[in-house]
Amino acid sequence: MLETLGTFVINIISDTGYLGIFLLMALESACIPIPSEATMPFSGSLVALGRFNLWMVVLIGALGNLAGSLLAYAVGYWGQDKIVRILIVKYGRYFLISEHEYDRAQKWFLKYGEIIVFASRMLPVVRTFISLPAGIAKMNLTKFILYTTIGSFFWSLVLTSVGMILGQNWQSLEVYFRQFDVLIVAGLTVGGLFYLYHKYKQLKKR
């Protein structure tokens, strides 16, 4: 599946250029799992070849993420949990979306609050679905756009830069990014536990 998606990404970007980057990144954030780990590094390799401009690629990638995220936000906002869940159960398999993944994104939003909209842009799976619970919770739209744009810009910059460095070997990123995903989640978990412990000590003193 990953190999097929990778080939799809290469063909779209090769044929349509910047527009392809925008569409692929929008699809990922609209809950259709087109991996940004393929889209942006491949675009970065084309930057290294002189076909694309670095900052144009990064900006378009971030705007694509924002567009897809706004669509998912709107679905959550107007559909609410009951409708969203029905849609996922009924049609999710056609878009590789599972109820389990949706529940995970919802739990993360409830646990960490609105800041997870920013942080999740660098997290596996959650980044694809986090806009749904944000919409359901009716998160302030301005804050949602700001957090999404900043997080997406940073993520796009990292992936594109690494793709530039690796050049034609950009596909070797796949294995390593899966490992990085695990490390990022572990780091955030430890950080969250430390934060809760610190708050507990403050409350105990009071």
Q: What is the pLDDT of residues 63-76, one digit of tens each?
A: 999 999 999 899 88
Q: By three-state DSSP, how is residue 138 classified? A: coil
How many percent of the chain have pLDDT more than 70? 72
- pLDDT for 168: 61
Is the dihedral angle over the CA atoms 35, 39, 40, 44 positive or is it negative? Answer: positive
- Mean pLDDT, residues 165-190 taken together: 53
Model confidence pTM above 0.75: no
Does the pLDDT value for residue 138 go beyond 80? yes
Report residue 73 as tokens. 């936000």
- Mean pLDDT, residues 105-133 taken together: 78
> If 0-12 CB within 10 Å is exposed, 13-18 middle and 19+ buried, where does residue 82 land?
exposed
Does the pLDDT value for residue 187 go beyond 90? no
Assess contact for 163 and 41: CB atoms under 8 A: yes
Question: d(Cα 8, Cα 14) in Å, to the nearest integer?
Answer: 10
Report residue 159 as tokens. 């992936």
Helices (H) and strands (E) in the chain, counts: 10, 0
Closest by CA to 64, choosing from 78, 45, 43, is 43
> At 176, is the pLDDT very low, low, confident or very high (cuts 50, 70, 90)?
very low
Give the tens place of pLDDT for each residue, 3-51.
666 677 888 888 899 999 999 999 988 877 787 877 888 899 889 888 8
